[in-house]
Amino acid sequence: MEERETFGLMGRLPSNMQTLEEQVERAYEQFLAREGDLGKNTFMTGLKEQNEVLYYRLLQDHLKEMLPIIYTPTEGTAIQSYSRIFRRPSGCFLTITSPYEIESSLSNFGNPQDIDYIVVTDGEEILGIGDQGVGGILISVAKLALTTLCAGIHPERTLPVVLDCGTDNKKLLGDELYLGMKRLRVRGKEYDAFVDAFVKATGMLFPRAYLHFEDFGVGNARRILERYKGERACFNDDVQGTGCIALAGIMAGLHICGVALGDVRIVVFGSGTAGIGIAEHIRDAIAVEKGKGKDEAAKQIWCVDKPGLLLKSQGENLTTGQVQFARDDSEWQDKAHNDLLQIVKDVKPHVLIGTSTKPKAFTREIVQEMSRHVDRPIIFPLSNPTRLHEANPQDVYEWSEGKALIATGSPFPPVEYQGQRYEVAECNNSTAFPGIGLGTVLCRAKLLSDKMLVAAVKAIAAQSPALKDPDKGLVPDVENVREVSVAVAKMVIKQAVQEGLATQEGIPEDDRQLEKWLRAQMWEAKYRPLKRI
């Protein structure tokens, strides 16, 4: 009542003052009343614009139900419909034809100390649905919502950005309501100069900000990350986040199987940004585990793409990332290297990972072939959205006679096989990238090092429910994501301090004090007292 009087709100509100919990109850009923997932997604977008505290508290109370609505797979549909369902802008829109406006545009969003976390995309490879042009801004918005929800990054200290470089999506180019630049994508030197100008401008305007690259095209994602990761704290979720969470699941699975990481054989089906990112994380972990060089460790991984197994003879057709995993042709003379079943027969892998967006690629024959050679085949159909997954978990359990250890890229309900109930773990990056970002932001790390990422993987793997019960998920459930993020951030900070990369003063050395210090800085969805200034 005092606040109503102070701010001149008397008569503007109903007399009954309700708690946040009561408001959440009302909002949830309104959410359920919306028709279809896209309708629910649009409702949540509107709620976020009206009342951020209520939006995040509603998500927090119904996280597992609502995550597929505000993120994959429904957010992909919203992005495809961006120009049609547009109501108001959110984030920063930068256009390649106006590079001279980058600095002034970014400066509208705060002073040097105001921004902690930036997510930027160019919209070329969005959530398995391809080039979405300026609609990619919604993936930047969604990712930042997850950093707040899952790790307590303050929502007012984040900045979503889209780099509008045109689009090769013919449907968008022909749409009179499309809000982006209507021309084919600009590439080459002009594109690189635009990205460089953006990175330099953010470094100058927001020197403490952590830079998160999202859904760049396969030809640019890794290249851009490699270009800037030695200069500032930056991260690419498709390359590093996917690799972290997949590796955490694999480590938990190998623990159940009793197979050492240094002895594992892995086939990665789909050698784009995500697949190669996962392969790199596994390779680096094997190298550390066995004290091998990275080239030697890479020999335990077989990467497959559209032409088949990656071979050195494919030369210029291989991307920079793929070259690292190309096999000697002599190994595959007189063998069918373009047939996944035959590759599985020859390699006898412990682990099969799908990042191909090729539906039902993991057939009965492939799963049964794996099951003949290893006691507990580890099978990860990670492509999303759901319609693009390589195999249905129910089928994999039946084909493997309940022996498979499974994690997926999209949510699936528990599976029942011969009276036994199995939980299907979701390799959701939301249990990885928010905690990594939180740790990097709070310690003000100069760089995000490989060892900091390994520390994050170990923190996630240590919380695998399957370590206590093999029928549980291989990676932590998103319902526990805030606690997972705390564990991840703590390990990231400790590693940054050890490497001399942390610049924040006063970071506690004691584990308990560090956790207390960390939690105290995490934003929570609750109303604060208001004062007139």
Percent of the chain exceeding pLDDT 90 equals 83
Q: Nearest 5°: CA angle at 461, between 227 and 56?
A: 75
Q: Which candidate in 71, 178, 191, 397 is catalytic?
A: 71
Strand residue runs (E) in 23-153: 92-95, 117-121
Tokens encoding 170: 């013919």
Fold of 20-236: Rossmann fold (3.40.50)
Give me the pLDDT at residue 120, please.
Answer: 98
Is there a catalytic annotation at residue 143? yes
Looking at the chain, the domain(s) classified CATH 3.40.50.10380 span 20-236
DSSP state of 327: B
Residue range 164-217, pLDDT digits in tens: 999 999 999 999 999 999 999 999 999 999 999 999 999 999 999 999 999 999
The mean per-residue pLDDT over the stretch 101-110 comes to 97
Element (H, E) at 495: helix 481-499
Confidence of residue 127 (pLDDT cuts 50, 70, 90): confident
Phi, psi of 52 (to 5 degrees): -65, -40
DSSP state of 445: B
DSSP state of 238: I
Strand residue runs (E) in 146-226: 158-164, 210-213
Contact 218, 273 (CB under 8 A): yes
Q: Which candidate in 40, 48, 143, 490 is catalytic?
A: 143
Confidence of residue 73 (pLDDT cuts 50, 70, 90): confident
Query: Rounded distance, CA 196 to CA 190, Å?
Result: 10
Tokens encoding 9: 């709100």
Tokens encoding 518: 């960390």
Looking at the chain, the domain(s) classified CATH 3.40.50.720 span 240-428
Query: Rounded distance, CA 178 to CA 97, Å?
Result: 17
Q: In the chain, what are the helix, strand and coil shares in percent, each to the nearest 5?
A: 50, 10, 40
Residue range 37-69, pLDDT digits in tens: 999 999 999 999 999 999 999 999 999 899 989
Residue range 236-249, pLDDT digits in tens: 998 899 899 999 99
Give me the pLDDT at residue 363, please.
Answer: 97
Indicate the pTM of the whole model. Answer: 0.91
Give the distance between the most distant pair of CA atoms in the chain.
84
Number of Cβ atoms within 10 Å of the Cβ of 343: 23
Tell which wins on pLDDT, 422 or 213: 213
Taking CA atoms, 248 is separated from 51, 196, 244, 325, 488, in Å, by: 36, 33, 6, 21, 12
Residue type at 244 in one-letter notation: C
3-state secondary structure of 351: strand
Residue 386 has pLDDT above 80, yes or no: no
Residue 284 has pLDDT above 90, yes or no: no
Is there a catalytic annotation at residue 299? no
Query: Rounded distance, CA 386 to CA 383, Å?
Result: 7
Q: Residue 246 contacts by C-beta under 8 Å, 6 or more apart in sequence? A: 278, 281, 282, 353, 380, 382, 407, 427
Contact 382, 355 (CB under 8 A): yes
Confidence of residue 128 (pLDDT cuts 50, 70, 90): confident
- Please name the residue ranges forming H helices in 291-403: 294-297, 320-323, 340-347, 364-373, 393-399
The mean per-residue pLDDT over the stretch 328-346 comes to 92
Number of Cβ atoms within 10 Å of the Cβ of 78: 23
Residue range 389-404, pLDDT digits in tens: 999 999 999 999 999 9
Give me the pLDDT at residue 472, please.
Answer: 87
Fold of 240-428: Rossmann fold (3.40.50)
Preceding amide of 359 cis, omega within 30: no
Taking CA atoms, 278 is separated from 236, 241, 298, 383, in Å, by: 12, 9, 12, 13
Contact 223, 276 (CB under 8 A): no
Query: Rounded distance, CA 213 to CA 233, Å?
Result: 11
